[in-house]
Amino acid sequence: MKEKYKDLFTPFTFPNGVTLKNRIVIAPMTHWSSNPDGSVSEVELKYYARRSSGVGAVITACAYVAANGKAFHGQFSADRDDMIPGLRKVAKTIQEQGAKAILQIHHGGRLCPPELVPNGDIVSASAVPAERPGAKTPRALTIPEIEELVEAFGEATRRAIEAGFDGVEIHGANGYLIHQFFSPHSNRRDDRYGGTLEKRMTFPLEIIKKVKSVVAQYAKSPFIVGYRFSPEEPERPGITMDDTLAFVDVLADQGLDYLHVSLHDFRSTPRDGVEDLNKTRIAYLLETIGGRVPLIGVGSIITADDAKEALDTGVALIAIGRELIVDPEWVQKIQEGREDEIATCIYPDQQEELVIPDGLWEQIMTRPGWFPVKERQ
């Protein structure tokens, strides 16, 4: 290993005492490959086994916490106890490769396709459709229903503990239900769950409190609790950088083990809401957090030098998604001084070699620009 990459491979200990062997984690990536009933499939286990051995931790694809929260075909479930045996297989598969296993827990809200939820009843903070082609108008959740969903996140956490996971990540990013409650675009409520910036924080904060209480009740050893968020959204009205900095200032005092910012590029700068639009989002976030909680950074980390640059910003850990699908040996190649051998594109004949499930492979091949796909010369 080259000396300049050494910091990527130093151990990291979370506030609760759990230690990762290095600073690299697999970012949560949807793979569209679970069974129709939400149970874990064999191909998912092979997919995780193929790419978990080099990293410090794996944050899984999102698991829905309630039947009306399923956002993807082939998404796996944590909404009922008969899912625990399959979830246990996922945790064990990852841990056998030497990585910690973190289950991402999620509800799709207004982004759920009607055919995937009971009676096509799509719900959200308010009856406001997403700004995307074909978007359906959701039904606004009642307060008792919101309280039930808070409990559902707690129950999903209990199942993760029983399944042997090392932690959970609460998915508050990317336009899904928790994000919808924080967003002034999707949350037009005038009760305790909306109206002001502070009230829009209520739902995520209640979920964090519930998850932490379940961990305190059921976990027999230290259990990681993280929270993922998106710093801005393009809609207007929508989440702006100053909204997020106010929220992160509160999140940093919630006793979480980490915060995880969802970015397309770790070098990206804010759209608006702050004075200096040339200062990176990561820099603003780290300044606001002030060392109170570890931050995971993600986005456009392809080469070893990208990873080093990202870690040098001051984030505690770097999350890598697409590149570990493109090259499952990415970490090992850097460790062995072979970073010049890292693959940076996928060829159409590599599905079997890379152990990529059919659902994910179809997305890779049919969504131009999402992955670097090239024909062999």
Burial (0-12, 13-18, 19+ Cβ within 10 Å), 143: exposed
CA separation, residue 195 to residues 6, 19, 100, 183, 189 (Å): 48, 40, 39, 10, 6
Concatenated DSSP letters for 64-98? ESSGGG--STT-EE-SSGGGHHHHHHHHHHHHHTT
Please choose, from the candidates 194, 183, 200, the residue with its C-alpha nearest in 3D space to the C-alpha of residue 240: 183
Are 12 and 60 within 8 A, CB to CB?
no
Tell me which of 47, 64, 176, 258 is the catalytic residue. 176
Q: What gap in Å lies between CA 151 and CA 172, rounded to an integer?
A: 16
Indicate left, alpha or beta for 244 from its phi (over 0: left) and psi (-120 to 50: alpha). alpha
Burial (0-12, 13-18, 19+ Cβ within 10 Å), 36: exposed
Is 176 designated active site? Answer: yes
Q: What gap in Å lies between CA 185 and CA 131, rounded to an integer?
A: 10
DSSP H stretches of helix in 219-280: 241-251
Q: Which residues are catalytic?
A: 176
